Structure 1
Amino acid sequence: MTADFSQIRRIEHLPARIASHIGKEIAEGRVMAGEKLPTEHILAKTFGVSRSVVREAIAQLRNEGLVETRQGVGAFVTEALRRGSIRIEQADLHDRESFRSLFQLRMPLEIEAAGLAAVHHDDADLKKLDDSLARMTGAEKWTDQGIVADLVFHRALAAATHNEYYPLFIGFIAERISLAINAARAAAVLEEIVEVTIAEHVAIRDAVATRDPLVARTAMRHHIMGAAGRLDLTLEVY
């Protein structure tokens, strides 16, 4: 069964929509660099959602480099726009070709990240990978929380490179890939696709743990090609 990309807008989750709205406000200059965003409580009331949804939206904006959070103070717009920011609106990702392009970009970024993580990770990084895998394989793996744990795994892997730019770019892409994960789940037998996806992540984790960059790169390549295949996307590989 082939993924129906026409359903992407319908399954886009609330945090992504809220992050997109705030990101547009920042991009168009209605919220300036250095300015503090309204509190979680105010944003929750404004958008009519829970504070946990707002926190997830702020996390997405942080991954995109648009805001920085200061503990006990709040979220502030960064100077990213002055340096020239990169932004792909969720509304632009609604057909097969746009997702194919995003997966093609994902290939060099995440394969290289896996190799670097194998070389540079520390015990704390490995624990974060294990924690996200525990969530992926637990009782919540059939729910949206399984998708959240999947994205957390990729962010943790990016952080394990100990290169500050990988979390920025991979975190940004991961939020958009979440829509594709939903589409793939909707198009296949859920039990099969979840178990295959988990096995691919376990292989990546184990390769990183052995500190073998070549094996880690191979495992990530296998995962991305598999994920693309589950969406009936063909990637150019040389």
Structure 2
Amino acid sequence: MSGPNFSSLSRKNLLPGRVADGIRAEIEAGNLQPGDKLPTEHSLADSFAVSRSVIREAIAHLRNEGLVESRQGVGAFVTLPAERETLRIAADGLTDIERFRDLYQLRLVLEISAAGLAARNRTDAQLAALDDALAIMSGAKKWEEEGIAADLKFHEILAKATGNEYFPAVLGFIAQRIGQAIVTAREREGMKAVVSATISEHTAIRDAIASGNAEEARKVMKTHLVSAAQRVSLKMEFLEDGL
């Protein structure tokens, strides 16, 4: 067995979803076996020519699929096939606008509810973690790496703050696929990332959660998700006014 080969992938615009796709391919090819430890973050970052934050988000993506498990202080390991999740949505499949819209609608419904629950149930530590993610977003020099990774982290923390163990698993999986599809759409349409608007929307979400105002948290989350869809020219006629 030759071992995993990550260097054959294109290094242009590698984002967490694409890195995860590359690692997944090595697992499926048998170059990484159940029980094998993944290379270190530093090694993977060098192989893919991306930042370590991108690698961390890619590994989080694989955890959401059940392909790897993280052991604190040790690293990430390939899981046994019987332990893996069966739900999978390939990023390239979301180039079909109807499928992308359907998945986005699911995310919108779930994450609006998650924001309300997070406002009620978040801990001080989770609020501090939201602040950390927001600070990274605000200071990101390379938005397509640090900014998007911090954006995903913000939503991951919010899902955990619901106090419901299923929200992080489901929303984490959906957010990774949606995030990659949005990047692809921006590249295809030549759209510029509206970074200041994105940060402003996340700040409003953070403030509503900090105040414990569930109704406001749901409202500003809906505003953010609708605005994000509009920034990639996603038609919103599927939304109900009362959502």
Structures share a fold, TM > 0.5?
yes
What fraction of aligned residue pairs are identical, expressed as a percent? Answer: 48
Which of 45-54 and 195-204 deviates more? 45-54
| Structure 2 counterpart of 1:237, one-letter code | L
Residue 71 of structure 1 pairs with residue 72 of structure 2: yes
Contact 2:119 2:214 in 1 (8 A): yes
Q: Counterpart in 1 of 2:207? A: 206
How much has 1:116 moved relative to structure 2? 0.6
Task: Name the SS for the 1:114 alignment partner.
Answer: helix
The alignment's C-alpha RMSD in Å is 3.3
**1:77/1:179 Cα in 2 relative to 1: closer, same or farther (>3 Å)?**
same
Contact 1:114 1:216 in 2 (8 A): yes
**1:121/1:233 Cα in 2 relative to 1: closer, same or farther (>3 Å)?**
same
The structure richer in helix per residue is 1
**1:114/1:45 Cα in 2 relative to 1: closer, same or farther (>3 Å)?**
closer
Contact 2:14 2:50 in 1 (8 A): no
Task: Name the SS for the 1:76 alignment partner.
Answer: strand
Q: Counterpart in 1 of 2:116? A: 115
| Deviation by residue 1:100-133 (Cα, 9 ceiling, x = unmatched) | 1221111111011101100000111111111111
**1:102/1:151 Cα in 2 relative to 1: closer, same or farther (>3 Å)?**
same
- Measured in 2, the distance between the counterparts of 1:24 and 1:81 equals 18
Q: Counterpart in 2 of 1:5? A: none
How much has 1:47 moved relative to structure 2? 5.5
Choose the corresponding residue for 1:237, options 208, 231, 239: 239
How much has 1:142 moved relative to structure 2? 4.6
Contact 2:45 2:55 in 1 (8 A): no
**1:11/1:110 Cα in 2 relative to 1: closer, same or farther (>3 Å)?**
farther
Q: Counterpart in 2 of 1:37? A: 37
**1:137/1:30 Cα in 2 relative to 1: closer, same or farther (>3 Å)?**
closer
Q: Counterpart in 2 of 1:102? A: 103
Task: Name the SS for the 1:13 alignment partner.
Answer: coil
| Deviation by residue 1:72-111 (Cα, 9 ceiling, x = unmatched) | 3332344685575211112212232232122111111101
Contact 1:36 1:74 in 2 (8 A): no
Which fold has the larger relative contact order, with Cα–Cα distance below 8 Å and residues 6 or more apart in sequence?
Answer: 1
How much has 1:205 moved relative to structure 2? 0.9
How much has 1:148 moved relative to structure 2? 1.5
Structure 1: tracts of 5 or more residues without a match: 1-8
- Measured in 1, the distance between the counterparts of 2:11 and 2:51 equals 22
Q: Counterpart in 2 of 1:222? A: 223
Q: Counterpart in 2 of 1:166? A: 167
Task: Name the SS for the 1:85 alignment partner.
Answer: coil
How much has 1:42 moved relative to structure 2? 11
| Structure 2 counterpart of 1:70, one-letter code | R
Q: Counterpart in 2 of 1:195? A: 196
- Measured in 1, the distance between the counterparts of 2:109 and 2:117 equals 12
How much has 1:48 moved relative to structure 2? 5.8
